[in-house]
Amino acid sequence: METKILINTIIGSLIIGYFIGCVNLSYIISKIKGFDIRHVGSGNAGASNLVIVVGKKIGLLVAVLEILKSFLAFRLAEYLFPNAFAGPISWAGTLAGVAAVFGHVFPFYMGFKGGKGLACFGGIVLAINYKLFVILFIAAFLIAMITDYICFAPITMAFIVPVTVGFLYKTWIPPALISIASVLLLLKHRQNLERIRAGEELRFHFLWRRKDESERFGIVDDGKEIFNRKV
């Protein structure tokens, strides 16, 4: 690939991914409702905190849409730059997917304070291989169930995904790019581990035993929305 085309492909993929990733629906929905998602619940501008603060239905819907952000970025870059493949995987698409994760975590219009990027990270896997996405989604769910903490799912997937993709497709560029997003995922979940040690992290069973965790943290919970404190 010629140098000029290579540079245009890299820049184009980064721009596509970042700006699609910047569309933070958790933040937008919270502002429509009259508050800032970053100032309540876990303080995270992502789907998991929307589940905590607003409710499961809208939170899970936003999680699906966040997955689709990086999936869309991947497919768009793959379409626009058809010659940018490393083996069977579009490295332009992978780069756009990784950029979408960074856009979600560091949106320019939110002072670069967004979410943690797990759902967007999953969207990259979905774009590469939907069967692998299903398998890893189930694995992540089981990890969260067994540990009773959601954060162990992204921490584990940050290691598993690039290694698995590299092993299955016998290529190194896409896994190397994914590893950049993996490092970001690990850095963004350090606070969760600190809160677990301090006994201040919401447990996964909050999804179906909401009242128990609300009482444990002294949260005012009307069954739909939580506004009065960070947890």
* Nearest-angstrom CA–CA distance, 124 and 95: 9
Q: Is residue 36 part of a domain?
A: yes
Q: Identify the pLDDT of residue 222.
A: 47
Q: Is residue 219 part of a domain?
A: no
Q: Is residue 223 part of a domain?
A: no
Residue 32, CA atoms < 13 Å, CB-side half-sphere: 7
Q: What is the pTM of this model?
A: 0.90
What is the percent of the chain with per-residue pLDDT over 70, rounded to a whole number? 89
Structure tokens at 131: 């069967």
Q: Is residue 231 part of a domain?
A: no
Task: Count the domains in the chain.
Answer: 1
Structure tokens at 71: 């999936």
Range of the domain at 95: 3-208
CA-to-CA dists, residue 30 to 44, 101, 189, 221, angstroms: 12, 20, 22, 17
Q: Identify the pLDDT of residue 11.
A: 98
User: Which residue ranges of the chain lie beneath pLDDT 50?
Assistant: 220, 222-231
Residue 207: which of 49, 65, 64, 44 has the closest Cα? 49
Q: Is residue 182 part of a domain?
A: yes
